[in-house]
Structure 1
Amino acid sequence: MNARFSYAWGALLSLTLLGGCQSTSSAIDSAAAHPKLESLQALSKKPPVTRTLDIQSWKTAEGARVMFVEANELPMYDLRLTFAAGSSQDGNTPGIATMTNGMLNEGIAGMDTTAIAIGFENLGANFSNGAYRDMAVASLRTLSDPAKSGPALDLFTRVVGQPTFPAAPLERIRNQLLTAIEYKKQDPGAQAGDALMKQLYGNHPYAHPSTGTVESLKSITPAHLRAFHQRAYAAGNVVIALTGNLTRPQAEAIAAKVSKSLPKGPALPSVAKPLPPKAGITHIEFPSQQTHLILAEQGIDRRDPDYAALYLGNQILGGGGFGTRLMTEVREKRGLTYGVYSGFTPMQVAGPFTISLQTRAEMSQNTLGLVQDIIRQYLKEGPTQKELDDAKREVSGSFPLSTASNSAIVAQLGMIGFYDLPLNFLDTFMKQTQTVTADQVREAMAKHLDPEAFVIVTAGPTVAQQPLPAPVERGNTPPPGVPEH
């Protein structure tokens, strides 16, 4: 990310100063005539430019929470419904949340899946949906012209609020999910991921795969889907996010129409907090040249007050690509992997913190030991001031992208509403990341992570192990000579 950012800015700066094909002399004259031109070093010292969102929120008569931001730059609007209808609500039927969401646009009264797709296309509208562990979403993008938006919203509310769950598409989607489960048998990374969640969460709803199991998928009927839809896609269980070329009265009318189209019912109970897992290593034997390594702990929920400090701390450890502690030590200095990444996934309750990589099978155990040593040192010492300053600059440079488009804004609104965050969450997060100290980052990381408490899953062959190569410091590698012939 840093490399692409630097390259893009370097190219832009060259074009700005050279005017495409100006001579260097004329470029200097041009710069002298335009004192507003500034160096990147000067720009990096300025406070980050952020877009403050005027978020308005209310509830519909049926109990749906609405989040709205007026944005009149484009003649369209985005609508996103976020239901507490992810796989954590599957109960005793793993996969039912995923299958219900996937069936929404497969049939409504008088229209099959092809007719629904053509209906949206003819209106210049776009429908999308998806299901995850915490939530299920359904989204509409449409032109704000009433001649287009009215019929598009009518079709959207029928698709989300009144799906018929026809039998033939159900069999097709069931077979797709069963095929995906079968394919996992050939994917050691997928097997390791599923095993990790089971080890990390035990009997908690986060433990089972969102796609379900072979046994549960085969048992699901249209009646099961209708029952799940009736309770999980209820008006009291949804956040309605809206942004675009709309006034407040227009947004209220749209939200009211959506809310009335949904089944009546309250919000579903939140999932319980998970029990702490038992640390240890689980190995999955798999015939391959590489071994997958995944280390994890239960991390934080989405409302944790340490979120900003942890976000920065993880960017330095392994979340920021090249230049992170893990990437530098494991890839750049020793060439043990193409990539190693870490990340917190905050959820309704403590979501996972994971570190993942692939490495040569014969070096997997020592690579795992190296990663553990890096974690221990980082949690003990924390980041350097330079690492923290660099991470702050990266966050301030990339953060404006989180509200740079209507689709980005509506996703943020859905997240804020679903996790019941303050309306000024984005502004507060940005300020916190720019004021946090190195000691605060160290304390937050050490508070939420224990280097001896990781649940570890490896997937690969059992082979004799080799010692790791000696680290090569960056910048000390001699240039390659003339190749011999």
Structure 2
Amino acid sequence: MLRILLALCLFATTAHAESDIKEVTSPGGIDAWVVEEPSIPFVSIEIRFRGSASLDLPGKRGATNLMTGLIEEGSGEMTAQEFQTAREALAARFSFRAFDDTLSISASVLTENRDEALALLRQALTDPTFEQDALDRVRAQVLSGIASAEKDPNDIAGMAFDAAAFGDHPYGSSIDGTVETVNALTREDMFAAHRNALTRDRVFVSVVGDITADQVGPMLDDLLGGLPAEGPPLPGDVAFGLDGGITVVEFDTPQSVAYFGHAGIKRDDPDFFAAYIMNQVLGAGGFESRLMTEVREKRGLTYGIRSYLVPKFHSEMVFGSVASSNATIAEAIEVIRAEWARMAEDGLTPDELETAKTYLTGEYPLRFDGNSEIAKIMVGMQMIGLPPDYVINRNDYIEAVTLEDVNRVAAELLKPEALHFVVVGKPVGLDSTN
């Protein structure tokens, strides 16, 4: 049991409460982290299943995403409308989302009807019906999203970048699938996707609110015990597959969108915090970042630009995005490459390091702004293998990074010659290099 300082935002007022993270294992073997917070009569539950859309079967791309959209669309003996009516009567909130590597389930329920609300959630998770009319209705929504993405420069750039960087790996294609794969999906495919994605061997749970740790174990067995014990193998790791250069995707628009990046750093790398601070200064720090200063403030080439560290479960990259007019996108790319090189060669200044540390340590407690957010943070920590005391020590990790650490990592990680830009639009003076 660990004492942690959590900032709880209750009734729009931020209060600080010292709470216990308790590690619980249910009688059936399901692990969870629990924070008891009885001051408000509701409970937030965050459930994550590792695998998600990465487990789509060959030729079935989009199955997990479509299945996830159907979980509330009828279960047990209830139709979709009956399920929604029952949920609303209980004032319960459920949400279900599929991502590359994670299927996310969020629930907030009142203490007074917790058992009834969780029984409804259990029915949705363990006994979905995937009726054909619901399947056709949600399929139409997904297809509408796919059609919209095919006309959106940002979506086009993202899909082209992923396809080039990750090829046949699941990361190389949209979790939505294609018009062809989604149209071909059947009810049997939904049941198969459900069996593969929702399994007890890959579940992570956090619970925050008006409940005791002793109550959580039996609750989890009741809620999740009916799911399959094990899932199929996860996909293997994949190296970032793009060399430096430019890919232009012609699209009739007055403004070009560019996605750019190269290989990155793993989340469990000892140098991750140094890279995190470096990226804050390079492109994650909003108007204080170098990229925003050079590309927007000094030259007026864009409204916004950011860079990210993206440590996925099976690959990692340093990634960024920018939009500029067709006439100026080439100049924007030149400036980005120059800032990448300047950071790699010269590193941060002492003032930049201290400013970044002050921001990163100051904003961290503000993330804990309610039961749901605390639960999300805790389940995310579990998924990447962080211990409960990370909440206490995280800012110490930031403070321990030295200027020498950051500048060494910048020189090792940032490779301006390896940056690949995928540009969607009609850029002037810019041609594909491959």
TM-score by length of 2: 0.91
Residue 77, structure 1, aligned to residue 43, structure 2: yes
SS in 2 for 1:386: helix
Identify the match of residue 278 of structure 1 among 221, 225, 242.
Answer: 242
- Where in structure 2 are the equivalents of 1:121-270 lying within 5 Å? 121-145=88-112, 148-261=113-226, 263-270=227-234
Identify the match of residue 422 of structure 2 among 457, 475, 482.
Answer: 457
Go from structure 1 to structure 2 and tell me whether the alpha carbon gap of 1:64 and 1:269 turns closer, same or farther (over 3 Å shift).
Answer: farther
Identify the match of residue 95 of structure 1 among 31, 39, 62.
Answer: 62
Q: Deviations over 1:426-465 (max 9, x none)?
A: 3332211122112211222333332211222001114358
CA contact (8 A) 1:73 1:245 kept: yes
SS in 2 for 1:383: coil
Q: CA deviation at 1:81?
A: 1.2
- Where in structure 2 are the equivalents of 1:257-336 lying within 5 Å? 257-261=222-226, 263-279=227-243, 280-336=245-301
Name the structure 2 match of 1:8.
Answer: none
Residue 107, structure 1, aligned to residue 74, structure 2: yes
Whole-angstrom CA distance in 2 between matches of 1:198 and 1:116: 38
Q: Mean Cα displacement is larger for which, 270-279 or 369-378? A: 270-279
- Where in structure 2 are the equivalents of 1:23-38 lying within 5 Å? none
Q: CA deviation at 1:268?
A: 4.6
Whole-angstrom CA distance in 1 between matches of 2:362 and 2:191: 46
- Where in structure 2 are the equivalents of 1:58-73 lying within 5 Å? 58-73=24-39
Identify the match of residue 20 of structure 2 among 49, 54, 68.
Answer: 54
CA contact (8 A) 2:340 2:415 kept: no
CA contact (8 A) 1:62 1:236 kept: no
CA contact (8 A) 1:102 1:130 kept: yes
Go from structure 1 to structure 2 and tell me whether the alpha carbon gap of 1:185 and 1:303 turns closer, same or farther (over 3 Å shift).
Answer: same
CA contact (8 A) 1:339 1:358 kept: yes
Residue 442, structure 1, aligned to residue 415, structure 2: no
Go from structure 1 to structure 2 and tell me whether the alpha carbon gap of 1:94 and 1:319 turns closer, same or farther (over 3 Å shift).
Answer: same
Go from structure 1 to structure 2 and tell me whether the alpha carbon gap of 1:65 and 1:240 turns closer, same or farther (over 3 Å shift).
Answer: same
Q: CA deviation at 1:286?
A: 1.0
Q: Which one has the bigger strand percentage?
A: 2
Q: Which runs of 5+ in 1 are unaligned?
A: 1-48, 466-485
Q: CA deviation at 1:290?
A: 0.8
Residue 120, structure 1, aligned to residue 87, structure 2: yes
Go from structure 1 to structure 2 and tell me whether the alpha carbon gap of 1:334 and 1:51 turns closer, same or farther (over 3 Å shift).
Answer: farther
Report the AA paired with residue 224 of structure 2: S
Name the structure 1 match of 2:4.
Answer: none
Q: Mean Cα displacement is larger for which, 266-275 or 328-337? A: 266-275
Go from structure 1 to structure 2 and tell me whether the alpha carbon gap of 1:53 and 1:432 turns closer, same or farther (over 3 Å shift).
Answer: farther
Q: CA deviation at 1:365?
A: 1.3
Q: Deviations over 1:194-250 (max 9, x none)?
A: 000111112222111111111211111111111121132122221121111111111
Go from structure 1 to structure 2 and tell me whether the alpha carbon gap of 1:106 and 1:424 turns closer, same or farther (over 3 Å shift).
Answer: same
Q: CA deviation at 1:98?
A: 0.7
Whole-angstrom CA distance in 2 between matches of 1:161 and 1:447: 48
Identify the match of residue 342 of structure 1 among 299, 302, 307.
Answer: 307
Q: Deviations over 1:95-152 (max 9, x none)?
A: 111111111100112212222122111112111111111101112101122xx11100
Name the structure 2 match of 1:388.
Answer: 353
Q: Which runs of 5+ in 2 are unaligned?
A: 1-14
Report the AA paired with residue 420 of structure 2: V
Name the structure 1 match of 2:5.
Answer: none
Whole-angstrom CA distance in 1 between matches of 2:158 and 2:28: 39
Identify the match of residue 52 of structure 2 among 86, 99, 102.
Answer: 86
Report the AA paired with residue 443 of structure 1: R
Go from structure 1 to structure 2 and tell me whether the alpha carbon gap of 1:310 and 1:427 turns closer, same or farther (over 3 Å shift).
Answer: farther
Q: Which has the higher contact order (CA 8 A, sep 6+)?
A: 2
Q: Rg larger in 1 or in 2?
A: 1
Go from structure 1 to structure 2 and tell me whether the alpha carbon gap of 1:345 and 1:216 turns closer, same or farther (over 3 Å shift).
Answer: same
Go from structure 1 to structure 2 and tell me whether the alpha carbon gap of 1:201 and 1:232 turns closer, same or farther (over 3 Å shift).
Answer: same
Q: Deviations over 1:332-357 (max 9, x none)?
A: 11111000111112221223321111
Whole-angstrom CA distance in 2 between matches of 1:189 and 1:418: 29
Q: CA deviation at 1:57?
A: 2.3
CA contact (8 A) 1:80 1:241 kept: yes
SS in 2 for 1:446: helix
Name the structure 2 match of 1:23.
Answer: none
Name the structure 1 match of 2:393.
Answer: 428
Identity of aligned residues (%): 29
Aligned length: 414
Whole-angstrom CA distance in 1 between matches of 2:17 and 2:291: 32
SS in 2 for 1:106: coil
Report the AA paired with residue 21 of structure 2: I
Go from structure 1 to structure 2 and tell me whether the alpha carbon gap of 1:380 and 1:270 turns closer, same or farther (over 3 Å shift).
Answer: farther
Report the AA paired with residue 388 of structure 2: L
Whole-angstrom CA distance in 1 between matches of 2:317 and 2:140: 29
Name the structure 1 match of 2:12.
Answer: none
SS in 1 for 2:385: coil
CA contact (8 A) 2:71 2:128 kept: yes
Q: CA deviation at 1:51?
A: 6.9
CA contact (8 A) 2:309 2:317 kept: yes
Residue 398, structure 1, aligned to residue 363, structure 2: yes
SS in 1 for 2:96: strand
Q: Deviations over 1:256-315 (max 9, x none)?
A: 212313x22225534322134131321100111111111112323333332222221111
CA contact (8 A) 2:240 2:315 kept: no
Name the structure 1 match of 2:10.
Answer: none
CA contact (8 A) 1:126 1:141 kept: yes
SS in 2 for 1:160: helix
Whole-angstrom CA distance in 2 between matches of 1:451 and 1:427: 36
Q: Deviations over 1:52-72 (max 9, x none)?
A: 653222433544331212222
Q: Output the aligned Cα RMSD.
A: 1.9
